[in-house]
Structure 1
């Protein structure tokens, strides 16, 4: 039996298939894993766990679908399926948002629902791109030659997903993969598998061919490693920590499979003295405390020009204390939920202690939230931080921000680049020349001027340095699941 009966704190109840999903069937396995509600620390349900044998089954199913069915589908046919899935996501957005809020800790009304709607947009966007996904181009070389390119899918791809954005991570990987003509095997995070399993049900309703989507829940050491090293998988895409990303790249090297790795971040936010200070404070707070700081592009280290440093810090503290309301995911007015797990909560608390021990000033927060049973942490500001501190250099992945001073343009760029990461950078200034210099010199895959993170499915997403390899979203996201073949035809037949 693979059906779970899920009760949501808002009074709704759902039935959810919890088996692994292979060849359009939900399968029971020998072992199961409890999924927790981080708002209470109690069990939501248990999901069935796969292992290396199930990865093998999933790869065979995907290969059969790719070879016999999906590869021959026209761009129009692929587009139609992706559009159906997008429409089904909208029709079932309330349930998807309930599941995402329940398993990840996002407040439903101020966070989870927007992630679901964004994910539906991603499927709709790639449904349009699927129409031209295999278009090539002719290249003028010599008059006696006809040369052109052909765009082709890899074949069987795999996605290993993070827990912080269950719906959108699924959409970012699955939609362009299928639009390009591939079949896919997905491993959701052990913490947040429920949205991916529900998406399997929507794929069935959309009439997806058997084997196009396969979902194998399981532990990283078993299922993740089996996927990364499997010779029958042509490409792997991963979102998660840099440490795990390195491991996946090593395993993928066994058969030189292509990799897209979206890894960690420690994104700088620079505030100049000519910035609109009120807006800079609001955006800076949103950039780190949105999604409880569990976001790879979080503006987790702030640099403020010395002349406005004290005022900025006072305003930031006041804004955080007055505008961030913590509580259970389904409570009215809540905009900051619990951390995803006790492990994550403990890790973040340890970092706060480390920061204070290294000499950082604790401005606010730094503790669990009193009287709340789940894995809640107060939004935390650490001030007067130096570059050598671990809290400045290492990704905390929680609601903790460091604040430091700078003086000159050169110092702002130097401090921003003094990191092993390069996923996003944020700049607040009214000087367009200054912003252009910063944009050119900062080592980051994305730069935002006068606002903080807002993913747009039409724009490429990815990082420099230890933040990963390759790009997701936009046309670049589609290209990441495609290969280009060059064709040379000699029209004269002469040597």
Structure 2
């Protein structure tokens, strides 16, 4: 139960069947503003009973003819209306997310300006999902395929970009006729609950999208284990993704997993160094480094290493740390205290391993009492150090020199991860060679962090399984059915009579 100090805070219940629902246990947990370390609101502490209720409601809606038989075009209209409502409520949603996880308000405003396009993209795609007629050896037999929705989809979403990463799951799932139960991160519940309200306001059935808040070991695990769940889509750590994959595979349930990364950002001798420096800064210090695609390993050709390092270090030292709601702020807090402490421990580990801290390397309260960490650059590192091999998920950059294309390919690919990579060069042939040989699902050339709902993305190796965005993701949320029809009116032959 909430204590007296939390009793006066705003309270958020689950969202099930189109209404706010109190937790079955009566328990709530406190969410904290990471910029100030002060309590922000309480949210329902979900358990298996709450998950069962949400999945049952989603299943009932999935089987309801009013949703099941709704035309693809009309589903598209609903998605388009949802995108419009997000645009109309963009400022509210941006502020919710900024106060919940510390992302810059101006960055969130930018994300909310583009987020409606995801729903509009899938709105346009809804009535263009087609099967095919398959040629057969017998012209009297018609064989065709069709794609069907799976049923109830579970979405377990992270704290670093909750609205965007939840949209990557919810939009295509609804596009093809599934229903969804979301378990958001316990650090970022508010904006996802508000999104679920907008889904109903857009005209979707009340049980189309449900939200159960709470902890992963309680609500999240119960969702993964629910026997009526047709699929899990998860974004988060590789360790958790591995456990989810094992649990769902044992029940022959599909999973889409977007997991960790330790992405290389490679600067060649012919690159525009000024542009590359800005790409490096964007790759690691945007969102305080709390992105799975962070370019946390930088490899610079020895001939431009010093210049690049000087430019990146100068910009890192000038980054303005402060209140994420202020327009002049360039670096907000880490999302919660233990994440800040984890980053600090990794930097200390780097020092023990022999790395030198060129800039940053200290925790700070940002003048607000919150969970900030300075933009940090580690030099004198090698590819075998833990700070270079393990995902830190904070504003910590390791930079190393290289001498040849073959050497940097070997170093860049020497990682368990394969989510993204950056290449900075003016040599077109080299750009294509690198794109072909880098073991990463996304490769950027002379840019970093570009993305679009139209462009599919996939993690290689320990960075995940399955595809998000683009038309390819439709396969993740549908099942393929092959239909055979005998069009002949001739008598069916006795199968035990041999025919010449």
- Which secondary structure state, in structure 1, belongs to the residue aligned with residue 468 of structure 2? coil
Choose which of 362, 367, 389 in structure 1 pairs with 2:362: 367
Residue 12 of structure 2 is aligned with which of 11, 18, 24?
Answer: 18
Shift of 1:207: 2.5
Which shifted more, 478-487 or 160-169? Answer: 478-487
Aligned to 1:27: 21
- String of CA shifts for 1:376-411, please: whole Å, max 9, x gaps: 111000012111100110000000010011111111
Separation in 1, partners of 2:280, 2:306: 15
1:40 is aligned to 2:12: no
Confirm or deny that 1:92 pairs with 2:84.
Answer: no
5 Å-filtered alignment, 1:74-473, equals: 74-109=71-106, 111-133=107-129, 135-142=130-137, 143-322=139-318, 324-369=319-364, 371-473=367-469
Q: Is the 8 A contact 2:102 2:334 kept in 1?
A: yes
- Aligned equivalents of 1:292 and 1:450: distance in 2? 21
Give the C-alpha shift of residue 117 in structure 1: 2.3
Once the two structures are TM-superposed, the CA of residue 16 in structure 1 deviates from its matched residue by: 7.2
Larger Rg computed on CA atoms? 2
Unpaired runs of at least 5, structure 2: 494-500
Q: TM-score, normalization: structure 1?
A: 0.94
- Is the 1:225–1:251 Cα contact (8 Å) retained in structure 2? no
Q: Contact conserved, 1:384 with 1:405, CA < 8 A, in 2?
A: no
Deviations 1:190-237 (A, max 9, x none): 000111111122123222212111100011001111111111000000
Runs of 4+ in 1 over 6 A off after TM superposition: none
Query: Distance between the aligned counterparts of 2:330 and 2:451, measured in 1?
Result: 19
**Alpha-carbon distance in 1 for matches of 2:160, 2:119:** 19
Q: Structure 1 residue 332: deviation in Å?
A: 2.9
Report the RMSD for the aligned CA atoms in angstroms: 1.6
Counterpart residue number, 1:11: none
Cα distance in 2, alignment partners of residues 476 and 456 from structure 1 = 13
Deviation at 1:491, TM superposition (A): 3.1
CA shift, 1:296, in A, is 0.1
Cα deviation, residue 310, structure 1? 1.5
- Contact 2:317–2:360 (Cα < 8 Å) also in 1: no
Alpha-carbon spacing, 1:104–1:85, altered in 2? closer, same or farther (3 Å)? same
1:65 maps to what in 2?
61
Q: Does the CA contact (< 8 Å) of 2:11 and 2:41 recur in 1?
A: no
Tell me the CA shift for residue 151 of structure 1: 0.7
- Give CA deviations for 1:401-453 in whole Å, capped at 9, x if unaligned: 10011111111110110000000010001111111111111111010001111
Deviation string, structure 1 residues 463-489 (Cα, Å, up to 9, x no partner): 100000001111122221111111222
Query: Could you tell me how far apart the structure 1 residues matched to 2:189 and 2:400 are?
Result: 38
Greater CA drift, 114-123 or 420-429: 114-123
SS of structure 1 residue aligned to 2:43:
strand
Aligned residues: 480
Question: Per-residue CA shift, 1:350-379, capped at 9, x if unaligned?
Answer: 000111111112110010236341111110
Task: Answer whether contact 2:62 2:178 (CA < 8 A) is retained.
Answer: yes
Q: Residues of 1 paired with 2:196 and 2:127: CA distance? A: 23
Do the aligned residues in 1 keep the contact of 2:10 with 2:41 (CA within 8 Å)?
Answer: no
Task: Give unpaired runs (5+ residues) of structure 1.
Answer: 7-14
2: CA distance, partners of 1:460 / 1:489: 35
- Do the aligned partners of 1:70 and 1:183 also contact (CA within 8 Å) in 2? no
Distance 1:365 1:338 in 2: 14
Give the drift of 1:78.
0.7
Structure 1 residue 17: Cα displacement = 6.8
CA distance in 1, matches of 2:458, 2:263: 12
